[in-house]
Chain A
């Protein structure tokens, strides 16, 4: 699940040469995940559950700017950075937002 930052800065992310070639081909985006420290050697990454978000938005229960690709049935969140930050601050601890089944566990090698 990728989040697109609508407030793009000109001087970061993609290289100038890429932008010059095709200014509309590249869009800055974020992948958001929650980090959990299980112990001093293990961290878990819980990624945002895109299906949950998609269902909530389609059911009219979530207010977040987005664009829907009806051909492939996918969607892209297009809310501003401020709104995304507010959203994460508010719902960052809400387990319903995260896909625990596909969590990534990182264990430090001893």
Chain B
């Protein structure tokens, strides 16, 4: 894929940019140096020669000194080297027009029209201008690349989030379909209602959860639906307590975060336990802060089943929290002997 900033780095375009700069510079010099009302042949010759002594000084600076020494650690060395370059090429310029040109161009008569000090000043100003141009160009390039890098990072995060969500959906449906399968085997009359509720959840997963953030009330409605779905197939011994406080309207949350904890609680707590099962769910919303805690007993299946898919949902949520709430969440998971506790604090 072609870099967005190729115009700044393409060798041919770069050459054209440099040629344009020196051509412009030539005409500025020409009108500055001309002796009469309009430039004569000698003015062209003089300007070209003057510029020829300036070009190496400029390129030595921007192509060698600046890249090699232009950093904080070597700034003194850079300034010293730059001063040496300016003095050397000023000396070349002064002596060329003052002495050597008579031998090189015997039929053209000109002198050094500036004092040594004036030429140093001239060269210094020119070096500063070209250095600033070079630095601004580099700045544009670096900031552009940084922006591009940030965009790529963002795209990468988006892709990862999509993949994580895509993992959650089959994971969730796999568990629910297992329940439906059991109900079908038992010829449970609640099966049609369960399938209907599942279809509602599927709709949510398919359409609503594509956004990074959704209204909190939608996520809470999905939780309610899910609870209703799970209650149908849970045995009557399940002690399910739900508490909620605070205003949920106007708040936003990443989709599918909370449902994963709930699903986990039902999967491990509400089934397969030899003792009385329980799930305690508490949601507190204070200003822009959500505290979600869920606690469930551990069933015997947790001791038996240790396949590779166990814990996939929780790991997935952890990664989503890192991506969507960096530094804005606190997740506490407590795996005790007989119960499993999760507490999530989110800055909404």
A79 closest partner in B (C-beta): B35
In the bound complex, do residue A90 and residue B99 qualify as a contact, i.e. CB atoms below 8 Å apart?
yes
Segment from A2-10, A29-37, A55-63, A101-109 that makes contact with B: A55-63
What is the bound-complex CA distance between A64 and B41, given in angstroms?
Answer: 13
Q: Which residues of A contact B109 (CB under 8 A)?
A: 56, 61-64, 87, 91
Q: Is A66 an interface residue (CB 8 A)?
A: yes
Q: Given the known A-B contacts A62-B109, A63-B42, are A86 and B98 also in contact in the complex, defined by CB atoms under 8 Å?
A: yes
Whether A63 lies near B46 (C-beta < 8 A) is yes
Query: Is B303 interfacial (CB-CB < 8 Å)?
Result: no
Q: Answer yes or no: A83 CB below 8 A from chain B CBs.
A: yes
Residue among A60, A82, A87, A90 making CB contact with B42, cutoff 8 Å: A60
Contact with B along A61-82 (1 / 0, CB 8 A): 1111110000000000000001
B111→A90 contact, CB < 8 A: yes
Bound: A83/B110 CA distance, A: 10
Query: Does B88 sit within 8 A of A, measured CB to CB?
Result: no
* A89 CB contacts on chain B under 8 angstroms: 98
Which residues of chain B are near A83, meaning CB under 8 Å? 111, 113
B36-78 CB contacts (< 8 Å) to partner A: 36, 40-43, 46
Contact-residue size bin, chain A (C-beta under 8 Å from the other chain): 10 to 19
State whether A60 and B112 are in contact (beta carbons under 8 Å apart), knowing that A90-B99, A90-B102 are contacts in the complex. no
Interface of chain B residues 87 through 133 with chain A (CB within 8 A): 98-99, 102, 107-113, 115
How far, in Å, is B111 (CB) from chain A's closest CB? 4
Assess whether A87 is in contact with B111, with CB atoms less than 8 Å apart.
yes
User: Given the complex, which residues of A lie within 8 Å of B36, measured CB to CB?
Assistant: 66
Cα A90 to Cα B111 with chains together (Å)? 7
Complex Cα distance, B36 from A61, in Å, reads 13
Given contacts A63-B35, A65-B35, A91-B102, contact A86 B42 (CB under 8 A): no
CA of A63 to CA of B115, assembled, Å:
16
B105: min CB distance to chain A, Å: 9
In the assembled complex, which residues on chain B have CB atoms less than 8 Å from the CB atom of A63? Answer: 35, 40, 42-43, 46, 109-111, 113
**CB atoms of A62 and B99 under 8 A apart:** no
For B33, give the chain A residue with the smallest CB separation.
A63
Q: In the complex, how many angstroms separate the beta carbon of A2 from the nearest chain B beta carbon? A: 18
Minimal beta-carbon separation of A106 from chain B (angstroms): 29
Bound state CA distance, A56 and B46, in angstroms?
A: 15
- Docked CA distance A60–B110 (Å): 11
Closest to B35 in A: A65
> Is A61 a contact of B111 with CB atoms below 8 Å?
no
- Residues of chain B within 8 A of A65, CB atoms compared: 35
Q: Are B111 and A60 in contact (CB under 8 A)?
A: no
Contacting residues, chain A, for B110 (C-beta < 8 A): 62-63
Shortest Cβ distance from B95 into chain A, in angstroms? 11
Shortest Cβ gap from B36 to chain A (Å): 8
Q: Is the CB of B40 within 8 A of A60?
A: yes
A61 in contact with B42 given A56-B109, A83-B111, A90-B111 (CB within 8 Å): yes
7 examples of A-B residue contacts, CB within 8 angstroms:
A60-B42, A61-B42, A61-B108, A63-B43, A65-B35, A86-B98, A90-B102
Further 6 A-B residue pairs, CB within 8 A, beyond A62-B42, A90-B111:
A60-B40, A62-B110, A66-B36, A86-B98, A90-B99, A94-B102
